[in-house]
Amino acid sequence: MRALARIVAEADGRGGTRLARLRGEPPLQLRHTPDGSAAATVHLIGSAAGPLGGDDLRIEIEVGEGAVLCVRSVAASIALPGRDGSPSRTTVTATVAAGGELRWLPEQLVAAAGCRHLASSTVELAAGARLLWREELICGRHAEQPGDATVSTSVDYDGAALLRQSLTVGPGTPGWDGPAVLGGARATGSLLTVDAAAPPAPPAVLGATAVRMPLTGAATLVSATAPDAHVLRGYLSTGERSPYGG
Amino acid sequence: MHRTAYLLLADGRFPSGGHAHSSGLEAAVVAGRVTDLAGLEQFLHGRLSYAAPVTAAFTAATHLSATRMGRAPSFAESDVKVPFLSLDRELEARTVSPALRLASRRQGRALLRAGRLTWPSELYGHLPKHPDGPHQPLALGMTAAAAGLSTEEAAQLAVYGVLTGPASAAVRLLGLDPYQVQNLLARMAGACDEIAAAAAAVAHKSPQELPAHAAPLADISAELHATWEVRLFAS
Amino acid sequence: MRADHAYDHDESVPHTHPEPGVDPHPPLPRLDRAVRIGIGGPVGSGKTALVAALCRALAGELRLAVVTNDIYTTEDADFLKRAGVLDPSRIRAVETGCCPHTAIRDDISANLDAVEELEDTLGPLDLVLVESGGDNLTATFSKGLVDQQIFVVDVAGGDKVPRKGGPGVTTADLLVINKTDLAPLVGADLAVMDRDARARRGTLPTVFQSIAKDPHASQVADWVRHLVAHRRGDAEAHGHDHADELGRGPATAGMR
């Protein structure tokens, strides 16, 4: 199944944000969920399970000058194998203008047994744009070996590379759950914060397998591995809450 | 002469500071994640799958740019530095741990020192200046170019270094049987060759398109390691 | 023997040899950088104590810094600071990857980087002391890293150590036989050590010392002063060499 969702957020001129475009198609449904703040919050409402092998899902996001957009999802997405063994793909492209802010805080991606999934995100930030970007990957449903999944994130700030990360898990990659990569952890993820106005946070140890790291540039990355999704979320908490939990 | 240069640069005795780096193995040993030969095997497979493709691709890309530059010395100074600046930035964006960025640059600085004195060349001057030194893969690609090696050989050296550093550290830290460790490395040789060939094959791509494999524990344990009061290895 | 010397002397401590007036080494090259002196020797022989003593003696007159290859804790740094010996900013610790020999001899890059970083952050220096990790008798410093090297053994290690030889004892520019105050307690015969050191080292100098009795390691400090003066090209330092200096300086007051 192929689907395209598109979100365009603009400053409404009264200190808030309006959604100039909000368009989805099954299985990528979008819902504006106003929370009374200056930010526009959009929830992704996926189907019960998916993406499925063969799916090609695209999400395009534009955040204009001075607009604040928060994107969440109502439930974890579960990458599942298709009938013919073809891979599934989720592609997110986002641009954020100066003074704009994007908070990308969806629920976890679960790599179910047998899946072949590629989640790929490209974010272009203008100088002065802000970003909060969380990725959480769970290796398999309860007590199951995962399939092969790659979560790839590329962020540019003011035209220069800020972050390039591609994490692959699953039996197709030798050593993926070994002591150099996940050390047997079932959950891993990161939270990227980009804000040129905030002083860069110094390195810090947040837990036995969680650290905060300043990148080269006005950005900080929290990276963690954890035994489960709950512990992982504790490390990657933003202090905000979704009306749907998380 | 050419082949001997390759062996000199591959030799663990080449004085480029590698002996003081365990590539995360010391942290893994202290955390109890690697205690024996089987654990080392898993560790090395992880390094080969995740660290080696990135290191080798940036080494090979640097080598290729340097070799092209060596053939066309009439390039304007500003033109020739562009690929190296871009490689530096792209590798920096792939190295999220500040401890690993520093370890890479310090190893690059040590390698550059040894390279300059072993195979003098004007090429080294094109590497981007940084107070902590150039990233190790850039220094290795440049040194391999100055030594007259091929892009494939440069990539192979990078992969080889990714594995032999922690393997040698494991012998020292865990007292593993050195014959068994060599046997393990020999069994991984085919996989090493494949990773090196794949890296050489993408050397011509734009730096942005080069591999960006991340291993969460590599970053996390490097940061933990950097906070220790006493370390036997620099990384 | 000068009776006014600040510390007690044991008549049984052999004098520094060889006889004054002979230095088998060519003069140090005149370089526009600090004199680098390596301090090596077995574990527990008193390398760190010698470094501390030299800092105590020289920190007020020379711009100096220390690179240590030993396992160096914040407690060590605090100790040196509290003792007023050296500010922690003047000390760099180098990780040797469990290969203390390699780091000072075969692959000196981490130590060179540490020296350069100290020079970058502190400005020009007169003297950099490079302390090796505790090791055995075969460790020596590369000439690419240091200008001169001191090898430290102690009487508690047994009076047969000089006879065993090894590159450290045999070739070091200065051999320091440490903890002479313990000789009676451990049954070490200093005369035997003296004889064996002469046999091994020919004309190279040897110092017998006790930092417990001489907390400024006066003889070694004078040897170092001479090297630094020589590097600076001081007129005063010309015309005699270090063996000469050792033979005539105030430090020899403790010698027969």
The reply to whether C103 touches chain B by the CB within 8 Å rule is yes
Helix or strand holding residue C49 (H, E): helix C47-58
Q: What is the mean pLDDT of residues C159-169?
A: 90
How far is it, in rounded angstroms, from Cα C6 to Cα B224? 49
Residue C187 marked in a binding site = no
Q: What ipTM, to 2 d.p.?
A: 0.95
Residue C215 marked in a binding site = no
Burial letters for C45-68: b for 16+ Cβ neighbours within 10 Å, e otherwise?
bbbbbbbbbbbbbbbeebbbbbbb
The reply to whether C116 touches chain B by the CB within 8 Å rule is no
Residue C9 belongs to some domain of the structure: no
Q: Under an 8 A CB cutoff, do B17 and C113 touch? A: yes
Amino acid sitting at position B181: V
Q: Please, what is the average pLDDT of chain C?
A: 82
Residue C22 belongs to some domain of the structure: no
Q: Could you tell me where the DSSP H helices lie in chain A?
A: 229-235
Q: Under an 8 A CB cutoff, do C97 and B109 touch? A: no
Output the domain CATH number for residue C114: 3.40.50.300
List the single residue in B with minimal CA-CA distance to A211: B220
Which CATH architecture best describes the domain B35-227?
Orthogonal Bundle (1.10)
Q: What is the mean pLDDT of residues C183-195?
A: 93
Residues of B in contact with C71 (CB under 8 A): 230, 232
Which residue shows structure tokens 């942005």?
B208
**Structure tokens of C79?**
């100790």
Residue C27 has pLDDT above 90, yes or no: no
List the single residue in B with minimal CA-CA distance to C94: B234
**Structure tokens of C237?**
């330092």
What domain range is C137 assigned to?
Answer: 35-254
- Is residue B130 very low, low, confident or very high in pLDDT (cuts 50, 70, 90)? very high
Residue C18 belongs to some domain of the structure: no
Q: What is the mean pLDDT of residues B46-50?
A: 98
Comparing CB atoms, the residue among A161, A166, A209 nearest residue B220 is A209
pLDDT digits (tens, 9 = 90+) for C88-134: 899 998 998 888 889 999 999 999 999 999 999 999 999 999 999 87
How far is it, in rounded angstroms, from Cα C76 to Cα C58? 19
Q: Under an 8 A CB cutoff, do B49 and A176 touch? A: yes
pLDDT digits (tens, 9 = 90+) for C44-55: 899 989 999 999
Residue C44 marked in a binding site = yes
Interface test with B, best of C70, C71, C98 (most B CBs within 10 A): C98
Q: Which chains touch A (3 or more CB pairs under 8 A)?
A: B
Q: Under an 8 A CB cutoff, do A162 and B218 touch? A: no
Comparing CB atoms, the residue among B19, B173, B229 nearest residue C74 is B229
The region of weakest confidence among A108-112, B75-79, B171-175 is B75-79
Q: Under an 8 A CB cutoff, do C109 and B233 touch? A: no
Q: Are B112 and B139 in contact (CB under 8 A)?
A: yes
Q: What residues in chain A have per-residue pLDDT under 70?
A: 47-48, 239-246
* Residues contacting A82, CB < 8 A, separation 6+: A52, A53, A54, A55, A88
CA distance C167 to chain B (A): 20
Residue C174 belongs to some domain of the structure: yes
pLDDT digits (tens, 9 = 90+) for A48-77: 678 999 999 999 999 999 999 999 999 999
Q: Can you give the pLDDT at residue C212?
A: 92
Interface test with B, best of C72, C95, C117 (most B CBs within 10 A): C95
Residue C21 belongs to some domain of the structure: no
DSSP code for C203? T
Residue C47 marked in a binding site = yes
Q: What is the mean pLDDT of residues B37-43?
A: 98
Residue B123 has pLDDT above 80, yes or no: yes
pLDDT digits (tens, 9 = 90+) for C214-242: 999 999 999 999 999 988 876 454 444 44
Candidates A200, A233, A244; CA nearest to A219 is A200
Interface test with C, best of B19, B106, B117, B233 (most C CBs within 10 A): B19
**Are C and A close enough to touch, i.e. 3+ CB pairs under 8 angstroms?**
no
Residue C30 belongs to some domain of the structure: no
How far is it, in rounded angstroms, from Cα C221 to Cα C223? 5
CA distance B95 to chain A (A): 8
Residue C44 belongs to some domain of the structure: yes
**Structure tokens of A231?**
């512990």
Q: Can you give the pLDDT at residue C165?
A: 87
Comparing CB atoms, the residue among A175, A185, A209 nearest residue B49 is A175
Structurally, how many domains does chain C consist of?
A: 1
State the Cα angle at A39 between A35 and A44, rounded to 5°: 70
Comparing CB atoms, the residue among B20, B106, B114 nearest residue C103 is B20
List the single residue in C with minimal CA-CA distance to B166: C97
Q: Could you tell me where the DSSP H helices lie in chain B?
A: 2-10, 25-30, 37-46, 52-71, 77-94, 98-118, 136-146, 151-174, 178-187, 189-201, 216-227
